[in-house]
A and B are shown apart, each in its own frame.
Chain A
Amino acid sequence: MHTTCYTPADIWRLLEQVSDPEVPVLSVVDLGIIRHVEVSDRQGGQHAQVTITPTYSGCPAMDMISANIRMELLMQGVHSVEIVNQLSPAWTTDWMTEAGKEKLKEYGIAPPVANLSACGSSDVNEESGIQCPLCGSLHTHVVSHFGSTACKALHQCDDCKEPFDYFKCH
């Protein structure tokens, strides 16, 4: 068995290979759910502690994400992995990377728009101004605040008429 000597930065890079099972173009790093990484030396090899936070309380992907993180790090030679779940501070789409937002758009999902949004304010007001990821038009309307997964809402473009998913600001 080969020995490894990863720094926390190396672990972060490895985690970029772990994708969100529901939106596979995004890595768990893009999604902003990795809060903290620590490495330590233990008997037998390196131990990694990865702190993650759930996107939504009931997100069924979280168990799978934890398992995939563990699997990836073990496959890369980390001796043992501990996943810590942290609820507070609560996840926000502000933690999504810019690269992640670009990937979402290319994938056909409108990325969260923070400046007109619900983030921080007490109201949920994301009715308009969401850009169609297909034709780029701003003439769109919300069809439903709830979509195919907990993190998405359903919108429709008034110009190209295509329905599309919007990654809700949270």
Chain B
Amino acid sequence: MSVDTIKFALHLADNNLIMSQRLSEWTGHGPALEQDIALTNIALDMLGQSRNFFQYAAQLINEGRLLKEFAPGTNYPLDEDDLAYHRLEHQINSHLLVELPNGDWAQTILKIYFFSQYQQLMYEQLLQGNDAHLAAVAEKSLKEVKYHVKWSRDWVLRLGDGTEESHERMMKALNVLWPFTGELFEETTWNTQVFQHQIVREKWLQLVSSTLDEATLALPVLPTFQTGGLRGVHTEHLGYILAEMQYLQRVYPGNDW
């Protein structure tokens, strides 16, 4: 067991949790009942994946007696809820992309497409990795992610190559989100052993370029990308998400219903 594995498991859990929390804001607000249900199903899958990674991280933290390092202020035995509800902004290592506001429908589906396509490629690499537990969660998650990719990709094509307005909105969404996609492939001290970022990046770019091309959307060219999430430096949006998500557990710690 290594501290890097815990950090990486927490990062995967955080990404899924924050993405899920954001998407669930759409509950009851989708443009059509079927799409509302699709979004909540995707959010639920991500929450489930998040739980699997948190449970693994909690197990490793308990075994290694590393509570002070990862979740100060909590007690042994640590569980998935402690990790979701009692860590602060700077302790959360999700990518900036997932905390961005949903925006309109175009921005929401493009965000899901970028993220799911990344998740699919990353999970495929975890399957080959040397951590059997991470591989097992990846194997389970992959089956779900394929549906997310398909659904969001279909929407990108439909809106990008749709009406004048839908095309315009997709272009706007692309310009908002693109600067946050580079961080998905950022290497740091604790994630390099687990998967090869360059390979995932190349495949991702190839797949995404082909989708955007088919959707008649021009790929933006940017010299640099926004980063910070892996160091716990976030946009102003994450604090608000946590304030809402963690409120009850902070006011009534350990409360159950």
**Do A and B belong to a common assembly?**
yes
A residues bordering B, Cβ < 8 Å? Answer: 54, 56-60, 87-91, 118, 122-124, 143-148, 150, 154, 168, 170
A143 to B142, CA, bound (A): 23
With known contacts A122-B146, A124-B146, A145-B147, A57–B140 Cβ distance under 8 A = yes
The majority secondary structure among interface residues of chain B is: helix
Chain A contacts for B51, CB-based, 8 A = 57-58
Kindly supply a per-residue 1/0 record for chain B positions 131-146, scoring 1 wherever the CB is within 8 Å of any chain A CB and 0 otherwise: 0110111011111101
Specify the chain B residue showing the minimal Cβ separation from A86: B136
**A56→B48 contact, CB < 8 A:** yes
Q: How large is the interface on B (under 10, 10 to 19, 20 to 34, 35 or more residues)?
A: 20 to 34
> Whole-angstrom distance from the CB of A94 to the nearest CB of chain B?
12
B residues bordering A, Cβ < 8 Å? Answer: 34-35, 37-38, 41-42, 44-49, 51-52, 132-133, 135-137, 139-144, 146-147, 149-151
Query: Which of B37, B45, B136, B146 meets A87, CB within 8 Å?
Result: B136
With known contacts A88-B135, A124-B146, A144–B140 Cβ distance under 8 A = no
Chain B contacts for A60, CB-based, 8 A = 44
The majority secondary structure among interface residues of chain A is: loop
> Whole-angstrom distance from the CB of A55 to the nearest CB of chain B?
10
**B41→A146 contact, CB < 8 A:** yes
> Whole-angstrom distance from the CB of A2 to the nearest CB of chain B?
35
With known contacts A87-B52, A88-B136, A124-B147, A147–B37 Cβ distance under 8 A = yes
Chain B contacts for A91, CB-based, 8 A = 140
Query: Which of A57, A89, A143, A146 meets B141, CB within 8 Å?
Result: A57
